Structure 1
Amino acid sequence: MSDTVALGQPTVGQEELDAIADVFKSGWIAGNGPTSRRFEAAFSAATASEHTLATSNCTTALQLAFHCLGAGAGDEVLVADYTFPATGHAVMHTGATPVFVDVLPDTACIDPQALEAAITDRTVGIAAVDYAGQTADFDLLERIASKHGLWLGEDAAPAAGAMHNGRPAGSFGDAGCFSFHGRKGITSGEGGALTTSHADLDAKARKLHAFGIESALSRAASNDLPIPQFDELGFNYKLSDIAAAIMLVQLERMPTLIANRTRVAERYSDELADNDLVTLPVTRQGNVHVWQAYTLTLDPTVHRGELARMLREQGIQCNIGTYASHLQPLYGFAQQCPVSADLFERHFTIPMHANLRDDEIERVLNVLKTSLPKARA
């Protein structure tokens, strides 16, 4: 229907179009060019990280990070179970085995106690996930990683702009990985970034993400004709300069976008606080939540599929939270993560984006509150 309230929606306009036009005029629209370099510098400043590498998406950033951190055949990487399976996929692409770890029921981020219990002599690293725009407890995770001699990666796919105890997402552990997919808080349609404060990790990832050779931009500055040599198997994981130009504008928009999403989240929480059929999302003390998604936990008596049907029939988009990865056939059903499995069954996301008008918020709330009791099993 034409008056559908979208689950997610990008905020883009003339500024992004002007930035794209400037890239067209520059003559360098491919990846790893001068606009990408400007975006990388701006994103490093925003994430308090020394290095940023722009990538084609978050999955390629994750794969590069895990590969460069040394994950390989015979290794195990502990992965927060409640995540889009890209996190586990990225581990598998290195040849290592993802070992899924249960999450906390309130934030859906990795459970530090379960994490420490899962460490074996094959464990080499940790992949923690920032669910829905809120960081995991990285102060504690960094202590656990240091204690056991493990590397720590942050899957910050939905968390650009999020904070934990005064530190921004992307500044934790050994590497952070972001998504700029169309449903994320800042977006170029597709795209990603790898952040790190390790110069050696950045140098290796930078080489590998461009086929394993020095970038064309670097070679273009030479007065002679340098011919690169391929001495290492690389990938083609570059972000185009067109997308990088969009991201520079999106970074400027980010504070306003976060403020608008926060306003929506606060309105939802105020209106649903007394509803016994839902549990509201929690923001942990010390965290700044950027609300990539607003996820309710339904009472067990509510039939989620029926509730979704009712909302969609009235033009309200909705969805699940994300996936309990250990339940996916690819991973072999070898583990138990009961909290994640429960959230997978009961999480329910409602429209969340920076463009939601007051009348749309009111409509979502009215339809949801009317439909919840009718959807009880």
Structure 2
Amino acid sequence: MALDTSADTPIPVAKVSQLIGGWISRLGAVWVEGQITQLSRRPGAGVVFLTLRDPSEDVSLSVTCYRAVFEPVAELVTEGSRIVVHAKPEWYGPRGTLSLRAAEIRLVGLGDLLARLELLKRTLGAEGLFAAERKKPLPFLPQCIGLVTGRASAAERDVLQNARRRWPAVRFEVRNVPVQGVHAVPEVIAAVKELDDHPDVDVIIVARGGGSVEDLLPFSDEQLVRAVAAARTPVVSAIGHEPDQPLLDYVADLRASTPTDAAKRVVPDVREELARVHGLRDRARYGVQARLDRETTGLASVRSRPVLAAPYRMVDERAAELGALLERSRRTLDHRLARAASELEHTLARVVALSPAATLQRGYAVLQREDGVVVRDPAQVTPGERLRARVAEGGFAVTVDAVTVDQD
């Protein structure tokens, strides 16, 4: 609506801003495509600010969105990315600026596809389908391998040839299915379930050669991912080449970089295993021989010790010590006996020298009364008394004729 204004009757700036805001607020949401030239994500802030530019016209618009709107594409969007936003124009009256309030953000073309895959990956990961603790170990030597792959494909040939080259006795249950297109997902799911129920299948390989992201889309399908997660048999994903990582790689119990790598990871090489067995046998033999040599050396060392080399040596040494002690005891006893005999002779000589018999040998005599009392004093006898005289060689009787007392 045109306003009736003039130089004499102008309207305030606030009124103009209010009118512009009212007109813009009546505009509906639109889909806008552009290139991000500036991206501002402050930590903790609930709003993300972008500048969207049209490279062909060199025109830019400010875009704001809540963090919940931006999070699904946060890891895929950088400055320079082309995006499509579903936004509603907004007018900020105090500053008189126009911006777009985004309600949805999508990447252009392949970027949008990757964003949707990333969102599905986060959802399935949050449910625990990619957790390492739920992955099942592969059997060391599978007797029968289930293979889900395209008919007469290079992937099938690579798996079969490499597996049989490594272990000729291995058996396969092959299920040929479409590996791209609208029928790929249901048929791959049916083949996986059939092989999972097969009583002889020990491990399942899902293989496909390389291709574009669109070609590998069936192996990122949510139904296929959930079917593999529910399988009781270990599943190996061998999709594309090393850089390709469909969602099947995350849920599988083992991810192989190529179909050839899957054959090598699942089937052990008979030559390598034989070489390992021979190596272990040689190591065991060497270990046993080394142990025997060590024990033999130790036993020889023990046997060479004097206690075992000449077990009677200690007895002989103790016998010699005992003989020496006996000889020493004998000499000591003889010496003591000889000294005692000498002392006895000297004592006997002294006794003999002091004995009354020696005195009698010099001519003395001992007088005894009839009651045996030795007469020492003349007063002890009377004249006419009979006494007994004892001399060196015997004795005889005497009669006292007279008693004489010495006068000093």
Question: Which TM-score bucket, shorter chain as reference?
Answer: under 0.3
Structure with higher strand content: 2
Larger Rg: 2
Under a length normalisation based on structure 1, what TM-score does the superposition of the two structures give? 0.27
